[in-house]
């Protein structure tokens, strides 16, 4: 997966009210080889959440969100 797809999934974890440990566990279980690093997830969940929430989804990101 590329960076944009992971950004959408991290945003999804935040909106589903998952904490960083739950998000890391979910990423490790679902995306074994391509999961983002723990520091990336923590940074996005803690510091970049407002930027992520203000970001408008592109068509590609919307397709990922819809499954």
Which whole number is the average pLDDT over 25-53?
A: 71
Residue 55 φ/ψ region, left for φ over 0, alpha for ψ in the -120 to 50 degree band, beta for the rest = beta
- pLDDT-derived band at 63, boundaries 50, 70, 90: low
3-27 confidence digits (pLDDT tens)? 777 778 878 887 888 887 888 888 8
**pLDDT of 54 strictly over 60:** no
The tally of domains found in the chain comes to 1
Question: For the residues 47-58, what does the mean pLDDT come to?
Answer: 56
Give the residue ranges of DSSP H helices in 1-67: 3-15, 20-30, 38-46, 49-54, 59-66
Domain interval for residue 53? 3-66
pTM here is 0.53
Q: Is the pLDDT of residue 65 over 60?
A: no
**CB of 7 within 8 A of CB of 65?**
no
């Amino acid at each position: 997966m590329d960076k944009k797809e992971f950004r959408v999934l991290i945003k999804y974890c935040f909106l589903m009210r998952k904490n960083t440990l739950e998000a890391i566990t979910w990423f490790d279980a679902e995306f074994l080889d391509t999961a983002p690093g723990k520091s990336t997830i923590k940074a996005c969940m803690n510091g970049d959440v407002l930027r992520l929430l203000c970001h408008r989804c592109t068509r590609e990101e919307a397709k990922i969100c819809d499954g």
